[in-house]
């Protein structure tokens, strides 16, 4: 608890963020209110998923990372400016040393009502260890990335992952009262035939499932043109077996949801390639080095580490955030390039966060 107290004091004397008067303060050039911040607290991961990373990755030097105190201060600045949902991502966020001290410190904004939701996206490897404490910090919902229910295929696609450990983590999270949503990247020739079974299993265990098209970020060992599976085709195949009804359900992210009559559960589709979701984008992404990306699919970014460290007050930081939001583009330019076979964006997903 002393570490938590120290984080709070360094982040602003223990004063919680004040809700932005009249709603969100950050409005981009296209009139979209920015109320959702995703923070990659580390680019490191204990998996090496084949569509996300090369097996032999070079990670950022630890000295380049923002401290937990700085991450807390940055988060609080965004909450002061209208962010209502905060998601911690990675890499794998739960491998960051002392990450629970940051999460416990940020939970003060839930207690004041300044923040509506604090959540994480995880591969599940560390969940059994942290689930109870996450629940104690007010984390009510998490996303777990899981692309297959076959232990051998799971090992193949994650390279380093332990399927049994992830299953234990999911059960621990549910036992702690945390709602779990599964995220699965749809990959041609790998899990396309498994999706109906994953849907039935997830819904049977009380979890929503969201399918995601592979995103062309970062150099990997394989070829994404061989992996790409349009979700329009997946939905058409699922409709032959299930009754899918579009519903207006939203979690704050880019997924479009349907209700599955036969299971009673929800199925989401994240389609950056076949159906651009940018018109309602309310998100920005912060890296563990303090770089703010206004769009996942664009290279334009703003340095927040400089103004953060330039003074003890937040005026410079607030101005830098405003300037960055003023440059947020209308949408991304994701494509699967079959000619050059190069990624649309050079940085890996683990740098920006999922």
Residue with the bigger pLDDT between 140 and 20: it is 140
pLDDT at 336: 46
Token digits of residue 8:
């709070």
Whether the pLDDT of residue 203 is over 60: the answer is yes
* Residue among 287, 295, 301, 285 nearest 329 (CA): 295
Encode pLDDT of 305-349 as tens digits: 999 999 999 999 999 999 999 999 887 554 544 454 444 444 445
| Average pLDDT of the chain to the nearest whole number | 86
Whether the pLDDT of residue 292 is over 70: the answer is yes
Token digits of residue 96:
């960051």
End-to-end Cα separation, the chain, in angstroms = 29
Residue with the bigger pLDDT between 241 and 296: it is 241
Cα-based torsion angle of the residue sequence 56, 161, 143, 210 in order, rounded to the nearest 10 degrees: 90
pLDDT at 113: 97
Q: State pTM to two decimals.
A: 0.84
pLDDT at 262: 98
Measured distance CA(89)–CA(351) in Å, rounded: 10
Tell me the fold of 2-352.
Answer: TIM Barrel (3.20.20)
* Residue among 65, 64, 88 nearest 75 (CA): 88
Burial of 154 (0-12, 13-18, 19+ CB in 10 A): buried
List the chain domain ranges: 2-352
257 preceded by a cis bond (ω within 30 of 0):
no
Average pLDDT for 222-247: 87
In order, the DSSP letters of 247-279 are E----SSS-EEEEETTT--EEEEE-TTTS--GG
The packing angle between helices 99-106 and 68-80, to 10°, is: 20
């Amino acid at each position: 608890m002393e570490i938590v107290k120290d984080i709070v004091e360094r982040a602003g004397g223990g004063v919680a963020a004040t809700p932005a008067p009249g709603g969100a303060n950050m409005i981009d050039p296209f009139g979209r209110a920015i109320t959702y911040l995703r923070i990659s607290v580390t680019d490191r991961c204990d998996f090496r998923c084949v569509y996300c990373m090369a097996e032999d990755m070079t990670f950022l030097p630890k000295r380049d990372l923002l401290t937990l105190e700085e991450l807390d201060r940055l988060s609080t600045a965004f909450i002061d400016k209208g962010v209502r949902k905060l998601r911690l991502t990675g890499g794998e966020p739960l491998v960051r040393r002392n990450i629970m001290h940051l999460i416990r410190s940020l939970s003060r904004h839930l207690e004041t009502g300044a923040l509506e939701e604090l959540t994480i996206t995880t591969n599940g490897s560390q969940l059994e260890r942290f689930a109870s404490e996450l629940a104690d910090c007010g984390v009510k919902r998490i996303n777990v990335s899981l692309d297959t229910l076959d232990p051998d295929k799971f090992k193949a696609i994650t390279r380093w992952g332990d399927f049994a450990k992830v299953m234990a983590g999911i059960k621990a999270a549910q036992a702690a009262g945390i709602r779990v949503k599964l995220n699965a990247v749809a990959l041609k020739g790998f899990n396309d035939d498994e999706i109906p079974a994953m849907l039935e299993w997830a819904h049977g265990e009380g979890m929503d499932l969201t399918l995601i098209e592979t995103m062309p970020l970062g150099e990997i060992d394989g070829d994404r043109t061989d992996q790409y599976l349009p979700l329009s085709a997946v939905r058409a195949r699922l409709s032959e077996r299930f009754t899918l009804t579009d519903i207006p359900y939203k979690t704050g992210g880019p997924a479009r949801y349907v209700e599955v009559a036969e299971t009673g559960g929800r199925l989401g589709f994240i389609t950056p390639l076949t159906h651009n979701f940018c018109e309602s984008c309310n998100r920005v992404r912060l890296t563990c080095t303090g770089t703010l990306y206004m769009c996942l699919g664009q290279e334009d970014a703003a340095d927040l580490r400089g103004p953060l460290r330039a003074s003890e007050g937040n005026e410079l930081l607030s101005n830098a955030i405003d300037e960055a939001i003023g440059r947020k583009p209308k949408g991304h330019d994701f494509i699967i390039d079959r000619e050059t076979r190069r990624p649309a964006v050079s940085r890996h997903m683990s740098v920006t966060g999922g």
